[in-house]
Amino acid sequence: SVLLPLMRLTRKDGMRAIVVSTPRHEIFVGSEELNRAEKSGRLDFEQDSLPAGVPSRIRKLKRIVQYTAIFDSVPDCVNGSRSVEKNFGESISAYPSDCVVDCVHAEVSKAIGIKAVADYCGIPAERCYAVGDNYNDIRMLDAYYGFAVESANEEVKTHAKQVVSSVAEMIEILLRDNK
């Protein structure tokens, strides 16, 4: 399981709380619970298995679909995201947003979801459009005709074909240009 090394890495980078998600549940572990477990010696991320201090409600999970690390600051969040990408880039994608890093399987993205729906409906890729504002939208913006909203991160905007003020403006452009 990649959960232990992921927890170890993000804790080292300043992670303060986590949310572990399955298809049916989301489990939140706050900083107080993590700090108590560390101080009591029950949470030692240097072990080779999930330490006893990891709440049993997480230890029992069978299918984790998303791990979210919550940080106190944007720089800690960015560092945590970069660490995850550096250490797990082939198997896990990390998407920072403010003070939160969402970690998912590398083969999970909005672009893959759009492709699945488009293929099922028989819609060619050149007839698919996307709008985004954050790091988790980059693959989608690259894969399809992408729009970014003005409030998007500057790096995200570089992946868009056009920048718009709103989704409404994007729709107006598409209708006007009959794309």
Which residues, at least 6 apart from 137, have a Cβ–Cβ distance to it below 8 Å?
110, 130, 131, 146, 148, 152, 156, 159
Amino acid occupying residue 86: K
The residue whose two tokens read 């107006």 is 172
Q: What is the mean pLDDT of each run of 10 residues along the chain (179 residues)?
A: 70 77 76 69 51 56 78 88 87 88 88 94 94 93 96 94 96 87
**Predicted TM-score of the model (pTM):** 0.71
Predicted local confidence at residue 48, as pLDDT = 47
